[in-house]
Structure 1
Amino acid sequence: MPQLGYSLGRDVAVDIVTPMGKLRIPKVTKFTSKPKMTSTDVTALSGNTDTLQTPKGWDGQFDAERMDGTLDDFWAQWEANFFNGIDTSGGTITETIQESNGSVSVYRYENVSFHLTNPGDKEGDKTIKQTMTFTANRRKKVA
């Protein structure tokens, strides 16, 4: 629930569906996403410049504490599929946000490609932090 009108991280729920099914990461600690854009400047003979912007999809990242083999197993299956010549389609991410006014906003990232970029550092008496990044073709508001 929001606090004093501010959205908090705990107001966000993320559902991940990969080409191999729903991915349930036990302890997600951070989710980030940002749009990718290209910009082209057009300068007229008068010296005035217009900037044209074109959306190029989305990038994002999940940080998680390793509690089981979920991300390692997901990546092992993805890699096995690749080397066995199995085509991997894109997945989806659904982001649900409880807004401070009580409404709910839902965004869907489409045609998502996933990449386990850091399976984690293993050190005595420390938790194992894992990172999975993604790219998506689009993010659409669905509710």
Structure 2
Amino acid sequence: MANPYSIGRDCRITVLWNGQRVDLRDVTSFGASQETHALRASPLNGMPVEFNVPNGWRGSFQIARASAALDNLVAAIEAAYWNAGTVGSGTIYQYVTEPDGTTSTWEYTNVSIKLKNDAWQSDQMVHQTVQFFASTRAKIS
């Protein structure tokens, strides 16, 4: 019997930066949360109402460092800013294998990233954490 629920290994991500794929081989976790801006009204003759306006997505992912790919990306982003004053953006694709065997693909656009955690310890694997903000998340398939 197939697994009736989604589990962590049902998800994989791909990062594109300035149209180039960044090979992050061992992504070990991924999470994203919708951000909203609350609009509120408190009518004199009724109960308060609130509307949540979409305001981007914030998330993070972690990799087990298997190459300098992430470090090279962060260095390239910094160099582009300091050398030419440009701040690039990327796209994250999240692929989820659903319990029924189909695949859902989500596209996070206008992504900005920052390397949050880069701890090196003796006889320990290095795990790097990236925090990101995306303007939108759209369902591709």
Same fold (TM over 0.5): yes
Residue 11 (structure 2) aligns with: 12
Q: Deviations over 1:71-115 (max 9, x none)?
A: 111111111111002523321111111111122111111111121
Aligned to 1:111: 110
Question: Which residues of structure 1 form unaligned runs of 5+?
Answer: none
- How much identity, in percent, do the aligned residues show? 29
Q: TM-score, normalised by structure 1?
A: 0.91
Structure 2: runs of 5+ lacking an equivalent:
none
Matched, 1:142 2:140: yes
Check if 1:55 corresponds to 2:36.
no
Aligned to 2:121: 123
Q: CA RMSD in A?
A: 1.6
1: distance between equivalents of 2:101 and 2:123?
A: 41
TM superposition score normalised by structure 2? 0.92
CA distance in 1, matches of 2:60, 2:67: 19
Distance 1:89 1:76 in 2: 12
Aligned partner of residue 84 in structure 1, secondary structure: helix
Q: CA deviation at 1:16?
A: 0.8
Number of residue equivalences? 141
**What secondary structure is seen at the aligned counterpart in 2 of 1:25?**
coil
Query: Could you say which residue in structure 2 is the equivalent of 1:85?
Result: 84
Give the match for residue 41 of structure 1.
40
Residues 13-56 of structure 1, C-alpha deviation per residue, up to 9 Å, x if partnerless?
A: 21110126111112110011110011122111024100011110
Question: What amino acid sits opposite 1:115 in the alignment?
Answer: K
3-state SS of 1:30 partner: strand
- Counterpart AA for 2:7: L
Q: Conserved in 2, the CA contact under 8 Å of 1:19 and 1:88?
A: no
Partner Cα separation in structure 1 for residue 111 and residue 2 of structure 2: 32
Query: Which residue identity does 2:122 align to in structure 1?
Result: G
3-state secondary structure, aligned to 1:35? strand
Cα displacement (A) at 1:135: 0.7
User: What is the rounded CA distance, in whole Å, between the counterparts of 1:86 and 1:111 in structure 2?
Assistant: 17
Supply the AA of the counterpart residue of 1:63: Q
